[in-house]
Amino acid sequence: MKRTQARELLMQLVFEMQAQKDKSEFMIRRFADEAIGDDEQREYFDRACRAYVDNAAEIDRLIEENANGWKLSRLARVDLAILRLAVAEMKYLDEEDVPDAAAINEAVELAKKYGDESSARFVNGLLGKVSRL
């Protein structure tokens, strides 16, 4: 599995967490064991997931402060999951491992695949602001 695929699975997990309002270790392990198993990207998946779960409140604050007046509750759920993952990568993982530009590019690609016609531009703009903080 490539890191791009691991990111896509992480976005799906973050989406599921927000839908079920459950960030429990049980949910994370169950999802990871079913989706990834012992793949080489499991370590990255675990670190990125932990970065999101441990810093969710700060990540949401950064998103809302840079969303030009949009409240989190008004954002598309898919866009929010993508943003949460990308901000976790940008702010809480090692820059050498995940450069901001890579996190933004991957998030934009996820937005093109899963979001609506304006998602990619919105995600790109918001993450650009966050990267300059």
Domain ranges of the chain: 3-131
Residue range 79-102, pLDDT digits in tens:
999 999 999 999 998 777 788 999
Geometric angle at alpha carbon 80, from 15 and 42, rounded to 5°: 50
Helix count and strand count (H, E) for the chain: 7, 0
**Residues contacting 90, CB < 8 A, separation 6+:** 98, 100, 103, 104, 127, 130, 131
- 3-131 has which CATH code? 1.10.940.10
Structure confidence by residue, pLDDT tens digits, 30-82:
888 888 866 778 888 889 999 999 999 999 999 999 998 889 999 999 999 99
Q: Is the pLDDT of residue 18 over 80?
A: yes
Q: What pLDDT, on the 0 to 100 scale, is given for residue 59?
A: 97
Say what the pLDDT of residue 1 is: 62
pTM of structure: 0.90
Instruction: Name the pLDDT band for 12 (thresholds 50, 70, 90).
Output: very high
